[in-house]
Structure 1
Amino acid sequence: MFTPPKPGSKIIIVGGGCFGLSTAYALALKKKYEVVVYDRQPIPAPDAASSDINKCVRYDYGDQLLYMRLTMEAMSHWHQWNKERAAENDTPVFHPSGVLIMGYQGKYGPYEEQSMQAIREAGYGHAIEQLLTPEAIVEQYPQFEQTVKNGYNIAYLNKEGGWCNSSESVKHLHGKCVKEGVRFVVGQEQGCFQRLWVDDSNSTTVKGIITKDGNQHAADMVVMASGAWTASLVDVQDQLLATGHVVMHFRPDESTRQTMTDQPVWCADIARTGYYGFPVNSNGILKIAHHFNKGYVHPRATDGVSIPRTQVDHSKDTIPIDGLEHARTALAEILPMTSKMDITYSRVCWYSDSIDGGFLISPHPSYDNLVIASGDSGHGMKMMPVIGFKIRDVIEGVDSDYTRAWAWRATPKNEPNSKDTHATLGDEQGGRFATKEELRAQS
């Protein structure tokens, strides 16, 4: 039976990314716990999903009302963080550019219809501006003229959405944690989680963690907020699977850059295509990403568990050649101007996918004093300012809609969260990495 920590307890959080930092901050605000965060890399960790130039911030969630409400709650915090940054003469972390959500061939899909309905019913209908004709889209966003001609000719704009500079957001929250007394232990040896430290007489009782340097670190509770690495560090009973997804950077020429700086985040019939992109940032970078259902896996030789393969350990990795070919074909229709652009940087971004796409934030059913805070499933960053307060509720045993939704699930029979249904990274049949020459424009 799960027992919440008592006042004065020491809580170790493994992972200094989105979930880990937000949890550390929420716990520290209570001024009754000792909170220590361990990470094998300096924060922001360069291979974490949260370390990026931008992530979408939106509350368009189809019929997933729980996540819509959570992101609506986060919006005021994003604006508050901007005020905090301004007071320190620093750049904003949240950019309310709007999010343009495009349908296809004159029709919205179920995701778009459900999102608009849910947003209106929540009282936020003022944020929705429908663009029901090709002319309406092009008049407002002429840079999408070819996109519209190719069938993405109906859309709506969520005027309150936008994007965050995710790496800077992580830095900002790290600073807030430090101010509240959170202690950080980072480094390839002293900060690197090796395994759980369990009681010699009862292997289900967690006493703390053991780091790569062999040292034992006692804790009254351990929170595994280790993102895509979680399933490879602790037995999560097929609840989670590390999957990789394609991210690409382009550097448009000056004339194109001018047209793409002042634009919204865009999603191109995303439930069908999985493609979305961002305005050109202050460094002249246009980022486009592909979030597709299965993603790539990278099975560990010893047990087949998928583990992230990142550029921290494989600096020459790019993106799989089949992912590149898919992207070039899709973007020739979605954003044809990119066909003439080299891909100047690419990476595989790693998610911790849950069995149903929802977060997994729950006491571990097989261990005492262990909470799993993972399963971002590619959509956790937008909630970073508030997700930690919900994770804190799980840690403290508070019952809520969130804690019930994120509890340990039964793995569906005959439909395991298995690598068998995913493309394997490194396969010569398509999973090999693209060369620098292949990343260049082919036309």
Structure 2
Amino acid sequence: MSTTIPKQKIIIVGGGCFGLSSAYALSLKPEYEVWVYDRLPIPVPDAASTDVNKIVRADYGDDTLYMHLMFEAFPLWHQFNKEREALGQSPVFHQSGVLLLSSNGSYSPFEQASLKSIREAGHGYAIEEFLTPESIVSRFPQFKGAVDRGYDIGYLNKEGGWCNSREAVVHMYNKCISQGVRFVTGSGQGEFGSLFCPESSRIVRGIVTKDGQVHLADRVLLATGAWSAGVVDMKKLVTATGQAVVHFEPKGTMLNQFQSADCPVWCGDLSRTGFYGFPANAEGKMKVGIHNAGYLWPRESDQVSVPRTQVTHTDDTIPLNGLRQFRQFLGGFLPETSALDITYSRLCWYSDAIDGQFVIDYHPDYENLIVATGDSGHGMKFIPNIGMHIRDVIEGRATDYTRRWAWRQLETSETKLDGLRSGNEVKRGIIASEQEGMRLVELDELKASRPQL
């Protein structure tokens, strides 16, 4: 007589990168029944993972753990493309290469370490160096203005590129559906209200959604991104920070150059300036971002920073000081943009960990509760494989990854920015406040006809 082993029910709160990847990984094993809850339909419009594009890079300085994680993900990105091709859909991963330009004839320490790590790991085939200004312009004429202004050395990591992150989320969502993962979305029924702890404050038996319904589970995984510190006490390990991004819509020669098949993702001396950008996508949108300490929006009740997004604040843009930084940098790096309107802007909200490392572990204050957060602005590239490692955490399997991402005791005074953030000092303004430069700009200030910032 056969016996049926009861399945373990796992509720995942959050249908972004970490949540969907975890749901898919768990669904591959027959012993799990997987449910995903989110306050909005997937792809959730204000999740960090829902965007026109994200960098897919393996350049991590001397932090080889994430480099290896990326080289594990590359073939899975190509598999995504094959799956979509079979369905008649466009690719989600574009292997354009990632061009890291540096200035004044020398690489930054971060770039030097990245080259060393990649080569020592046996991936030197992926590197193409450009050691003279002429070699850069010959291969990438769209960056002549940058080269003329001192960005005169660099290398291309040919394995990297960019992903259409919104479509990658949709693709992973559909993979989850095909595996039997169940989704509950929408205000009220899908929106997390609280943990369900009927026996004590410590033992988690499920969740309560905003409509008052109790949903039982053997374990709960919080994959709530930048909302994490506002959902459960994260002991200040992570902080929600808003990072400014803008879009341009170039025309003519500039559009042709930045929409060409050989246009790479670019980093403009990123570890020193914080600026990076993308080829123009099929719709002609060219995104530029800055990777720095970011901005805060503390809620009144406890001063925990929480995301303020265009879902609830539809007219939000970016702070004035951010706009000034974009125009100043791009005036010297891509001077053509000085004549272009910024056609769209927003704050992309990171779950910034104190040490830049993911936080994926059982929460020390509860039983049966796992947190998967601390993306720190570099999580999306791992959507094909991060769930496999989160599953290892859930199952108590020790690996180099689970040990690195384990819960740790750190003080806010120990906060440090990762190797690709501009500057070393952690200074974060409060958006929409009376602090200098923190007001959100008006739409007409995004126009090229308003240079007086």
Band the TM-score falls in, shorter-chain normalisation? over 0.9
Deviation at 1:31, TM superposition (A): 1.4
The corresponding residue for 2:317 is 318
Deviation at 1:254, TM superposition (A): 2.3
The corresponding residue for 1:398 is 397
The corresponding residue for 1:426 is 432
The corresponding residue for 1:290 is 290
Q: Which amino acid aligns with 2:226?
A: A
Deviation at 1:255, TM superposition (A): 2.4
The corresponding residue for 2:226 is 228
The change in CA–CA distance for 1:8 and 1:311 in structure 2 (over 3 A counts) is same
Deviation at 1:7, TM superposition (A): 6.0
Q: Which amino acid aligns with 2:372?
A: A
Contact 1:238-1:416 at 8 Å conserved across structures? no
1:245 counterpart SS class: strand
- The sequence identity of aligned pairs, in percent, is 56
The corresponding residue for 1:268 is 268
Deviation at 1:413, TM superposition (A): 6.5
The corresponding residue for 1:129 is 128
Deviation at 1:264, TM superposition (A): 0.2
State the distance in 2 between where 1:76 and 1:416 align: 34
The corresponding residue for 2:206 is 208
Deviation at 1:352, TM superposition (A): 0.2
The corresponding residue for 2:79 is 80
Q: Which amino acid aligns with 1:371?
A: I
Q: TM-score, normalised by structure 1?
A: 0.96
Greater displacement, 407-416 / 38-47? 407-416
2:350 counterpart SS class: strand
Deviation at 1:412, TM superposition (A): 2.8
Deviation at 1:337, TM superposition (A): 1.0
1:343 counterpart SS class: coil
Contact 2:16-2:47 at 8 Å conserved across structures? yes
Q: Which amino acid aligns with 1:360?
A: V
Q: TM-score, normalised by structure 2?
A: 0.94
State the distance in 1 between where 2:40 and 2:195 align: 19
Q: Deviations over 1:16-56 (max 9, x none)?
A: 00000000000000011110000001100000000001000
The corresponding residue for 1:278 is 278
Contact 2:275-2:289 at 8 Å conserved across structures? yes
2:343 counterpart SS class: strand
State the distance in 1 between where 2:384 and 2:30 align: 19
Counterpart of 1:438 (choices 440, 445, 448) is 445
1:304 counterpart SS class: coil
1:13 counterpart SS class: strand
The change in CA–CA distance for 1:171 and 1:413 in structure 2 (over 3 A counts) is closer
State the distance in 2 between where 1:389 and 1:414 align: 33
Contact 1:42-1:187 at 8 Å conserved across structures? yes
State the distance in 1 between where 2:365 and 2:415 align: 19
Q: Which amino acid aligns with 1:436?
A: L
Q: Which amino acid aligns with 1:267?
A: C
State the distance in 2 between where 1:413 and 1:286 align: 36
State the distance in 2 between where 1:14 and 1:217 align: 12
Contact 1:297-1:307 at 8 Å conserved across structures? yes
Deviation at 1:416, TM superposition (A): 6.0
Deviation at 1:72, TM superposition (A): 0.5
The corresponding residue for 1:149 is 148
Deviation at 1:421, TM superposition (A): 4.2
State the distance in 2 between where 1:368 and 1:259 align: 54
Q: Which amino acid aligns with 2:236?
A: D
Q: Which amino acid aligns with 1:430?
A: G
Contact 1:97-1:264 at 8 Å conserved across structures? yes
Contact 2:355-2:415 at 8 Å conserved across structures? no
The corresponding residue for 1:3 is none
The corresponding residue for 1:256 is 254
State the distance in 2 between where 1:253 and 1:142 align: 16
State the distance in 1 between where 2:66 and 2:186 align: 34
State the distance in 2 between where 1:246 and 1:160 align: 27
Q: Deviations over 1:337-373 (max 9, x none)?
A: 1111100000000000011001000100110000000
1:347 counterpart SS class: strand
State the distance in 2 between where 1:126 and 1:413 align: 40
Contact 2:10-2:33 at 8 Å conserved across structures? yes
The corresponding residue for 1:339 is 338
Contact 2:354-2:412 at 8 Å conserved across structures? no
Structure 2 alignment gaps of length 5 or more: 417-425
State the distance in 2 between where 1:412 and 1:377 align: 17
Pairing of 1:102-113 with structure 2 (within 5 A): 102-113=101-112
